[in-house]
Amino acid sequence: MAFLDNAGKWKEDSVDMELRFGIVGGGLGGFIGKVHRQGAIIDDLAVLVCGCFSRNEEKNRATGRKWHIKDESRIYGDFREMAEAESKRGDGIDFVSIATPNNSHYEIARCFLEHGINVMCDKPLALNVEQGIKLKKLAEEKGLMFGLTYTFTGYAMIRQAREMIDHGEIGNILHVVAEFPQDWLIVAQSNDHSDQAVWRMEPEIAGKSLCTADIGTHLEQLIVQMTGLKVKRVLARFDTYPRTLPLETNTTVLMDFGDEISGTIWASQIALGYECGVRIRVFGTDGALEWSHDEPGVLKYTKLNEPTRVMRATRDYLYPESRRLSRLPSGHPEGFFEAFGNIYHSYCEQLQAKIEGRKAESYTYPTIDDGIQGLKFIDACVESNKNGNIWVDVE
Amino acid sequence: MAFLDNAGKWKEDSVDMELRFGIVGGGLGGFIGKVHRQGAIIDDLAVLVCGCFSRNEEKNRATGRKWHIKDESRIYGDFREMAEAESKRGDGIDFVSIATPNNSHYEIARCFLEHGINVMCDKPLALNVEQGIKLKKLAEEKGLMFGLTYTFTGYAMIRQAREMIDHGEIGNILHVVAEFPQDWLIVAQSNDHSDQAVWRMEPEIAGKSLCTADIGTHLEQLIVQMTGLKVKRVLARFDTYPRTLPLETNTTVLMDFGDEISGTIWASQIALGYECGVRIRVFGTDGALEWSHDEPGVLKYTKLNEPTRVMRATRDYLYPESRRLSRLPSGHPEGFFEAFGNIYHSYCEQLQAKIEGRKAESYTYPTIDDGIQGLKFIDACVESNKNGNIWVDVE
Amino acid sequence: MAFLDNAGKWKEDSVDMELRFGIVGGGLGGFIGKVHRQGAIIDDLAVLVCGCFSRNEEKNRATGRKWHIKDESRIYGDFREMAEAESKRGDGIDFVSIATPNNSHYEIARCFLEHGINVMCDKPLALNVEQGIKLKKLAEEKGLMFGLTYTFTGYAMIRQAREMIDHGEIGNILHVVAEFPQDWLIVAQSNDHSDQAVWRMEPEIAGKSLCTADIGTHLEQLIVQMTGLKVKRVLARFDTYPRTLPLETNTTVLMDFGDEISGTIWASQIALGYECGVRIRVFGTDGALEWSHDEPGVLKYTKLNEPTRVMRATRDYLYPESRRLSRLPSGHPEGFFEAFGNIYHSYCEQLQAKIEGRKAESYTYPTIDDGIQGLKFIDACVESNKNGNIWVDVE
Amino acid sequence: MAFLDNAGKWKEDSVDMELRFGIVGGGLGGFIGKVHRQGAIIDDLAVLVCGCFSRNEEKNRATGRKWHIKDESRIYGDFREMAEAESKRGDGIDFVSIATPNNSHYEIARCFLEHGINVMCDKPLALNVEQGIKLKKLAEEKGLMFGLTYTFTGYAMIRQAREMIDHGEIGNILHVVAEFPQDWLIVAQSNDHSDQAVWRMEPEIAGKSLCTADIGTHLEQLIVQMTGLKVKRVLARFDTYPRTLPLETNTTVLMDFGDEISGTIWASQIALGYECGVRIRVFGTDGALEWSHDEPGVLKYTKLNEPTRVMRATRDYLYPESRRLSRLPSGHPEGFFEAFGNIYHSYCEQLQAKIEGRKAESYTYPTIDDGIQGLKFIDACVESNKNGNIWVDVE
């Protein structure tokens, strides 16, 4: 990946890395598989060599062909078969990407871990904390890497925010306000588009939560990655519309982070006028930061008694940790694919370093610990809501 | 007041109205007195004829002189004296504006009501619900009008929103999100500007709440006026910074409006990057509305499955109830003074109609019932916070 | 007028000033009279004591009554009569405001000057440069003040921009881009609202230019007041729509300011989507400034190699010259009336100082020299366009 | 490429296409090669199989390796060698992408055309019109396709705008205003980053124009593709800063499109505060459209007498021609890579159809005719500026 260093020269990192990976799920007829694949290959750190993209054999083959898998024997009809076969090959995959609905994450991830294969998994990690802890133990026993694609944490300006916070540029954090309104569900219901992701509304597949697990958890992780804070306890309120749905579609969560730091999350899937409206504001004693997904290359910074500064991706005035997550000169927008790419980039860098037995640079990505924390957060929210919106510890 | 009617002609209303009024408080050296006076006179419906602007005699006289009070005997040193003298004059005031700190509202309002004089009072109405109810009873007994200047409710596009909601243009309301971040307090503390409104931080003067009573209550009333909903119960969380202050500076409130309609308020006086950042979003089954104080002449409207529309003040496509709250052609910004002016305009129209024994047109303004509701809201928030953030009914 | 000084205290200026003024034109049934009156009285520096508001006697009287002119004999049926009568009174007016259509400015202004009365005139100053020069000579002979209400120059953030430029904060100016799109004319034509300002389209009343004289000239003056530059030569292109109109409705002007500084103006009255969309950008060697009428309390400042700063009215970090043009705490929007008010404020301050024989502080307002420059600019544009879009000197 | 069809289902097009291509130029150490490669492969319609990426042998090899060219013999040291070798292979490339500095485009393109290979070329097509016409003749003789990557034309919302205009949704076009401010050059000069693209400032390499050829031409093509208009004549003004540079850095162009349709282009490389600030506004008799590169997924549409609508990529209410240029659900930002991808996508679709002897769907991309028109535009601007800013026909 080429990025502009502080001398204004394009610097290329990891020129000779070429990891091998496969994908489970994400076949043609959706977009999430493409996002994972694109994220993994955009910086040419990894090559897709196999997959098990769909239970529908025709779609499975078509996807493999489309994605240039030359050896048809590596388009597998079953993920277990894939894990086994790949683990036995000399040129087997270095990691697997899991892009299936929530309820299968656990089983698939466990299977690949058991076969000694590193995992990158779509969020949420699993259906419950117990599953998450089992996966963690297994990964640790096997000495394997486990990453999670909390997309929004991959944006270059979120990394900039984290560096600024760590360098004390906003003082002590006082309050965090994060929101994720979208209109997806109310529009899908009205248009009978609901088939496109109907599984998200089914408790058996999605788990015990819809809105909180699907998008609220993105906010929780965004806060964690952007600020370094951890959610200590929550008070959650769920609303459901249409009223007949089994799971919630609108979530408000009050949070404590310890040290008298408080915050609020609002996630909604019935918010007309919003599509993927993630926005986060962090208020400190000496400054504040604000980021919105509408213009992901922008970070607003207000220092006490000074005008708000509108910081933009790639510029010289950013921290190097942020600058090297941009592939293009300033003003050339990067988007969702590239944010995914940044998470994969960090994961691949770490994995390559591990393979080579050296310490990687400070690239970061959401780990299985973050994934477990995310599940605890969902659990605590569900429990809080069920019990009349009381405070519940996230543990 | 001239406004553009739907035929694109300037129409003047209430040409010959000339009510007389006085002000208590608001002397030179602050801005709130000017806001009240300007609000009352901007459309030439009322004339300032007397006042008791300051306990400092020199400032009192200077203010009266500055504001063209010709008869110096009507610059009173004491509000009681003013109420008594004015009530006895044949050309005494039709109403009094109260622009003093919170803790004196009750006493002053009561005094003028007892002397048969209509009242326009800055918010909050009083220090507690009991005081509010007493004032209401007194006003009713005396047959007097009592208005409250919840500024934000005066903007023309808030009136447009109300008409749209009443006409079903967003379907059934599902969720309301309102916020009022400002940096006033944290900046004032850092700059030692705290003298400018230090009384707001003193429980004896401000009452039992700082942030909720000062600005949270603006949001509550904005919701009431914009949507027609009433807050049924609240769950409030207060934060305080600097930690040594006796009252809260950051407030989050979960709300129930009945009929499974929910909402959230966030008000903060330590939010760097914001000045008077009122923003309200109302989500319904068929549409959504959004208004922000940063561009008060704009209302965003999203209908299900359609692009967001950016509606602008004065335009032909607005309801007449909104259009007649604009004094200028579209694109000529009106601001805070004019929003105050709209509340006074409605109040004066009603008062004139009352004096003439006729029914006024549908102009509206926040009444003493709204003021009492606002006090109940504050009380319920304080109680909820004190008891560990439990639900408390607003009644 | 109260404003926040740098110690965060409200400071009141000119407490005891009370100039007397009258208005010619601007009667009820339009909005421009109200704007002038409100501008003149908003800070209580002047009192309206007479006027000749309309040739329609009934409207004339109604306006005077509405605007609290107590002495009916000072509601004049003819401006000449007004000039004569007022000039003879001991308590005659200190200045007159002229709010009539363009073609009568010259005659009215001359009449009042001849009677020894100071003038504040709506723009443009007159129909041609010759008239302007005559007025200037007359004002000088008589030792009278002559101001012009180029509204946009009155905004507090324009004053801030000027101070920043004068203090070298953007280095040497390289290029200026200013625009004023509005949809007024195309909307008026489509809705048959054209009666509201039909005179603007009549060459006999409006002069030899429509769009350039009506709004292009606002941009020229805005540049002059904001930057201190003067337009040396122009190359103008006019377009007309509807094609049948006698005067232009869309204007583009290339400009030279000398010293290799260039610029462009675009003004349009057929720009759907815009209402009063003034926007100006000044690019220098070390920084750039940007102001838009949509958010008049904001000024964007970009220093070379730094993030754009969003400066806001009233804040401590502004120059005092800007701060004292704000009446309200930061975040409380002031608009068109207050911008007018700032021009009148400066004019009245200067006038009072002149009356008292002292030097006024540095308040500024557009003078007759600016007005003449504005007429020369219009002339040069008309000539350039007529001759195939050639360069024409502004002199 | 998967996109959401109007029934809300993901549809995949061109599943089995797999064109072969090579790149000349664009080696590691810059970003433009990556943009071309990513654009060509993002939808898996083409595979990079060879290249001649740099005259520096080491960089050439490293680039080939990085980009997974398995057969090292297809990493060529010379473009002529590449053209010859590839033209002789049975599995030779279907097209070549040219990503070198301006002055070599002609020679390289000619060479590949002569060897019967289709071309996709970075803009501008060549250094002068004569070269362009020769290339066109050659391509026609050989029956080859020739595309140009005018990036901004690839955005999905530009395609939406074109469909709306073609369907009469803004009536007859009256005026077009397009701008492209950036701070690249002034920042590079100040930071001594000028090495990153110093060739752009050298007439021998860049041609006779800097700002106009580099970015002004983007605006010209954007207008052409978005509106269907052609520039008939221009009046251009160039400014240069730093004054010592041989070529212009700021360009203003008045344009005629015939039928009394006018327009203006402003392009600047010294505009502090802007990075890649392309913005285009098209005003018609019944409506107006506005697009800005800052939020490329948004198109603003104002219909006469209606509020501005904010249209967003991927939504159901868009034309299918726009929808199928989005790979992600609404609200998931796509950026510069994907815009490039859309141009390549259209080119590849057409090429595949040509290979298969069938008519392609209506995908469009900028052709050699557009490229020649772009060169004529630059020529005419240069001539206009040289001759004192006179009108020059574009022919």
pLDDT band at A289 (very low <50, low <70, confident <90, very high): very high
- pLDDT at res. D7: 66
Q: C192, exposed or middle or buried, with CB in 10 Å at 0-12, 13-18, 19+?
A: exposed
pLDDT at D136: 98
Mean pLDDT, chain C, integer: 93
pTM of the model: 0.96
Q: Lowest mean pLDDT: which of A256-265, C302-311, D282-291, D362-371?
A: D362-371
Q: How confident is the model at residue D193 (pLDDT cuts 50, 70, 90)?
A: low
At A7 the pLDDT is 66
Overall average pLDDT of the D90-115 stretch: 96
pLDDT at A10: 72
Burial C338-353, CB ≥16 within 10 A → b, else e: bbbbbbbbbbbbbbbb
pLDDT for C224-274, tens place per residue?
A: 999 999 999 999 999 999 888 999 999 999 999 999 999 999 999 999 999
Kindly list the residues from chain C whose CB atom is less than 8 angstroms away from the CB atom of residue B48.
Answer: none
Q: What is the reported pLDDT for C205? A: 76
Can you give the pLDDT at residue B196? 53
**Confidence at A214, pLDDT banded by 50, 70, 90:** very high
Model confidence at A46, in pLDDT bands (50, 70, 90)? very high
Predicted local confidence at residue B278, as pLDDT: 98
Q: What is the largest CA-CA distance in chain D?
A: 64
What percent of chain D has pLDDT above 90? 85
Is residue C194 pLDDT above 60, yes or no? no
pLDDT tens, residue by residue, A327-371: 999 999 999 999 999 999 999 999 999 999 988 776 689 999 999
Report, as an integer, the average pLDDT of C201-219: 88
pLDDT (tens, 9 = 90+) of chain B, 395 residues, equals 677 776 667 777 666 788 999 999 999 888 999 999 999 999 999 999 999 999 999 999 999 999 999 899 999 999 999 999 999 999 999 999 999 998 999 999 999 999 999 999 999 999 999 999 999 999 999 999 999 999 999 999 999 999 999 999 999 999 999 999 999 999 988 876 555 566 777 777 778 899 999 999 999 999 999 999 999 999 999 999 998 899 999 999 999 999 999 999 999 999 999 999 999 999 999 999 999 999 999 999 999 999 999 999 999 999 999 999 999 999 999 999 999 999 999 999 999 999 999 887 766 899 999 999 999 999 999 999 999 999 999 98
CB of C19 closer than 8 Å to CB of C348:
yes
The predicted structure's pLDDT at residue B200: 72
**pLDDT tens digits, one per residue of D195-244:** 556 677 777 777 889 999 999 999 999 999 999 999 999 999 999 998 88
How many cross-chain Cβ pairs, B to C, lie less than 8 Å apart? 152
Identify the closest residue of chain B to D311 by CA–CA distance. Answer: B307
Is the Cβ–Cβ distance between C286 and B287 less than 8 Å?
no
Instruction: Give the nearest partner residue to B327 out of C28, C34, C329, using CB atoms.
Output: C34
* Interior/surface letters D320-354, b for 16+ CB within 10 angstroms, e for the rest: ebbbbbbbbbbbbbbbbbbbbbbbbbbbbbbbbbb
Give the pLDDT mean for D116-138. Answer: 96
Confidence band (pLDDT; 50, 70, 90) for D191?
confident
Mutate to test the interface with D, among A44, A70, A191 (most CBs of D within 10 A): A44
pLDDT digits (tens, 9 = 90+) for C134-147: 999 999 999 999 99
Under DSSP, is residue D305 helix (H, G, I), strand (E, B) or coil?
coil
**How far off is chain C from D213, nearest CA to CA, in Å?**
20
pLDDT at residue D194 is higher than 60: no
Q: What amino acid is encoded at C247 in this protein?
A: L
For residue D38, the chain A residue with the least C-alpha distance is A42
- Judged by CB atoms closer than 8 Å, whether chains meet at C309 and A308 is answered as yes
Supply the pLDDT for residue D203: 79
With tokens 């605007």, the residue in question is C67
End-to-end CA distance of chain C: 39
CB-based contact D125:D105 (threshold 8 Å): yes
pLDDT at A148 over 60: yes
Using the structure block, give the residue that is written with the tokens 């009469």.
D168
Place of tokens 């360009």: D251
Question: Binning pLDDT at 50, 70 and 90, where does residue D189 land?
Answer: confident
Q: Alpha-carbon distance C248 to C245, whole Å?
A: 7
**Cβ contact A307–C316 (<8 Å):** no
pLDDT of residue D196: 53
Residue B148's nearest CA partner among B99, B219, B199, B82 is: B99
Report the neighbours of A using a cutoff of 3 or more CB pairs below 8 angstroms. Answer: B, C, D
The secondary structure of residue D80, as a DSSP letter, is H
Question: Which chain D residues contact residue A44 at CB under 8 A?
Answer: 66-68
Q: Check whether A196 has a pLDDT greater than 60.
A: no
Contacts of D273 in chain C (CB under 8 A): 281, 283, 288, 290, 300, 302, 308
Q: Do C310 and A306 touch (CB under 8 A)?
A: no
pLDDT per residue as tens digits for the range D68-90: 998 999 999 999 999 999 999 99
Q: What is the pLDDT of residue C8?
A: 67
Chain C neighbors of D284, CB-CB under 8 A: 272
Distances A239 to A209, A210, B133, B174, B389 between C-alpha atoms, Å: 11, 11, 34, 9, 19
Q: What single DSSP character describes residue B367? A: B
Helices and strands, counts by H and E, chain D: 13, 16
Question: Rounded distance, CA B45 to CA B365, Å?
Answer: 15
Q: Using CA atoms, how far apart are residues C290 and B387, in angstroms rounded to an integer?
A: 50
pLDDT number for residue B337: 96
Chain B residues with at least one Cβ partner in D under 8 Å = 301, 305-312, 315-317
Q: If pLDDT is split at 50, 70 and 90, which confidence band does A307 have?
A: very high
pLDDT tens, position by position, C4-47: 776 667 777 666 788 999 999 999 888 999 999 999 999 999 99
pLDDT tens figures, D311-348: 999 999 999 999 999 999 999 999 999 999 999 999 99
Go through C176-185 and write b for each residue having 16 or more CB atoms within 10 A of its CB, e for each that does not. bbbbbbbbbb
Q: How far is B305 from chain D (nearest CA, A)?
A: 7
pLDDT at D97 over 90: yes
Contact between A218 and A152 (Cβ < 8 Å): yes
Tell me the torsion sign for CA atoms A109, A110, A115, A117.
Answer: positive
Q: Provide, as residue numbers in chain B, all residues whose Cβ is less than 8 Å from the Cβ of D311.
A: 307
CA distance B226 to chain D (A): 20
Contact A273/B288 with Cβ under 8 angstroms?
yes
Query: What would the two tokens of residue A11 be?
Result: 């610097």
To the nearest 10°, report the CA torsion of A30, A33, A36, A41: -120
- H-only helix segments in chain B: 32-41, 57-66, 79-88, 105-114, 129-142, 156-166, 184-191, 203-206, 211, 217-227, 320-323, 336-356, 368-386
> Got the DSSP string for D163-181?
HHHHTTTT-SEEEEEEEEE
Mean pLDDT of C352-373: 88
Q: What is the DSSP string of D2-19?
A: EEE-TTS-EEE--TT--E
Buried-state track D229-262, b at ≥16 Cβ within 10 A, e below 16: bebbbbbbbbbbbeeeeebbbbbbbbbbbeeebb
Q: A12-21, A174-183, B133-142, C245-254: which has the minimum mean pLDDT?
A: A12-21
Q: Has residue A322 got a pLDDT over 80? A: yes
Q: What percent of chain C has pLDDT over 90?
A: 85
| Partners of D173 in the β-ladder | D284
> Whose structure tokens read 């019944």?
D286
Mean pLDDT for the stretch of residues D123-132: 94
Chain C residues within 8 A of D388 when measuring between CB atoms: 391
Q: Mean pLDDT, to the nearest integer, of C214-221?
A: 96
How high is the pLDDT of residue A191? 77
Report residue C327's pLDDT band, with 50, 70 and 90 as the boundaries: very high
What per-residue confidence (pLDDT) applies to A193? 57
Nearest Cα to Cα of residue A9 among A335, A346, A374, A329: A329
> What pLDDT, on a 0 to 100 scale, did the predictor assign at position B30?
87
Mean pLDDT of C36-63: 95
Distance CA B64, CA B53 (A): 8
As a whole number of angstroms, the distance between CA A95 and CA A152 comes to: 22
pLDDT at D1 over 70: no
Could you give the CA distance from residue C350 to residue C362 in angstroms, rounded to a whole number?
Answer: 9
Average of per-residue pLDDT across C281-302: 98
Count the residues in chain C. Answer: 395
Of C295, C277, C177, the closest CA to residue C226 belongs to C177
Residues of chain A positioned with their CB less than 8 A from the CB of B273: 281, 283, 288, 290, 300, 302, 308
CB atoms within 10 A of CB D135: 23
3-class state of residue B14 by DSSP: coil
- Residue C363: pLDDT band with limits 50, 70, 90: low
